[in-house]
Amino acid sequence: METRTNDMPTVLVTGAAGGIGKASCDVFFEAGYRVIGVDRRPIEDLPYEVLHFDIGGLGNGDAACESFYQQVEELAQGRLNALVNNAAIQIVKPIEAITRYDWSETLDTNLLAPFWLIQRFLPLLRAAGGCVVNIASVHAMVTKAEFTVYATSKGALVALTRAMSIELAPHVRVNAVIPAATDTPMLRDGFGDNLEGLEVLGDYHPLKRIARPEEVAQIVLFLAGPQASFMTGAAVSVDGGIGACLHDPVVAR
C-alpha cells in the first residue's frame, strides 16, 4: 500500500467494494487523495485502505461503531476533505410484501448512515473546509412500481442534502449526485439473466446506453474539488438524459 503524506486531501468513501464506490476510490486516488474506503464486503489488494464494516448499525453508537469511527479518525489524521456517502441497498418488492425490516434496513443504510457519518466527522470536515457528496438516484425524482422503499430513501437523501447544506454552510458544502442506470453489481443483480432487458434499458436513455461507474465517479470528484467551490445544496443529474425525457407513447406527426 502506497503511503500518502499528511498534506494530501483525504476522502472517505462508503460502499467502496461496489461499482460506483470502487470507481470513486480509484478516481480520488488517481487525483492524489488519501483514500479511506469502507464496505461490509471485504475487498483486498488495493493501493488504499478499505475498512470492513457494516455502516447500517451506526445509529446504535455501540463499541463496534466507536472503534470504526476511531479507525477512520486515525487514518484521516485530523481532517477530512470529502465524505462520499455511496453505500446503499435496493429492495424491490410490491407494496403488499414490504416489511418493517425492509424499511429499517434501507433507511439505516441509505439515509441514516450518511447522517451519522456527517454528524460524527463534522469537526474533521470543518477543519478541512471539506464537503459531502451523497449518492442519490434517479429514483429520488421519478420511479416505477415496486421501488417504494428505495425511492423513498433516495428522495429523503436529497432532502437531507438540502437541509444539511444550509446548516453547514459556509464551512462544509453538501451536494448530491443523481445517477441513472449504471453498470454495477447492484444494477446487474436486478436483471439476473435478462441481458436483453438491460439492453432495452440502455436504449431508453437519450444517450442510448447506461453509465459506466467511472462516469459517475468523475462527477463525484468534481463536486468534491475546488472547481465546485460555489456549489452546495445541489442535486446533479448524471443520467444520460433520462430525467429530461417525457415517456409519452404517442408519436407526434
Ligand X SMILES: NC(=O)c1ccc[n+]([C@@H]2O[C@H](COP(=O)([O-])OP(=O)(O)OC[C@H]3O[C@@H](n4cnc5c(N)ncnc54)[C@H](O)[C@@H]3O)[C@@H](O)[C@H]2O)c1
**Which residues sit at the interface with ligand X, rule CB under 6 A?**
15, 17-21, 39-41, 54-56, 86-89, 109, 135, 137-138, 179, 181-182, 184-187
In the chain, the amino acid numbered 93 is: K
Q: Which is nearer to ligand X, 55 or 124 (CB)?
A: 55
DSSP state of 237: E
φ/ψ (deg, to 5) at 100: -60, -40
CB atoms < 10 A from the CB of 109, how many?
A: 22
Q: Which is nearer to ligand X, 128 or 210 (CB)?
A: 210
Q: Which is nearer to ligand X, 76 or 107 (CB)?
A: 107
φ/ψ (deg, to 5) at 56: -65, -20
Minimum distance, C-beta of residue 117 to ligand X, in the bound complex (Å): 11
Minimum distance, C-beta of residue 249 to ligand X, in the bound complex (Å): 24
Minimum distance, C-beta of residue 50 to ligand X, in the bound complex (Å): 10
Residue 157 makes CB contacts below 8 A (sequence gap 6+) with: 85, 110, 111, 114, 134, 136, 140, 176
Contacts 24+ apart (CB under 8 A), 153-159: 153/88, 153/106, 153/107, 153/110, 153/111, 154/88, 154/110, 156/107, 156/111, 157/85, 157/110, 157/111, 157/114, 158/134, 158/235
State yes or no: is 150 an active-site residue: yes
CA distance 153 to 108: 9
**Residue length, the chain?**
253
Q: Which is nearer to ligand X, 59 or 233 (CB)?
A: 59
Residue whose C-beta lies closest to ligand X: 18
Q: Which is nearer to ligand X, 4 or 22 (CB)?
A: 22
Minimum distance, C-beta of residue 150 to ligand X, in the bound complex (Å): 7
Q: Which is nearer to ligand X, 128 or 217 (CB)?
A: 217
Minimum distance, C-beta of residue 79 to ligand X, in the bound complex (Å): 23
Minimum distance, C-beta of residue 22 to ligand X, in the bound complex (Å): 8
- The catalytic residue among 33, 101, 150, 204 is 150
Residue 223 makes CB contacts below 8 A (sequence gap 6+) with: 131, 133, 175, 177, 231, 234, 236
* Bridge partners (DSSP) listed for residue 49: 36
Supply the residues annotated as catalytic: 150
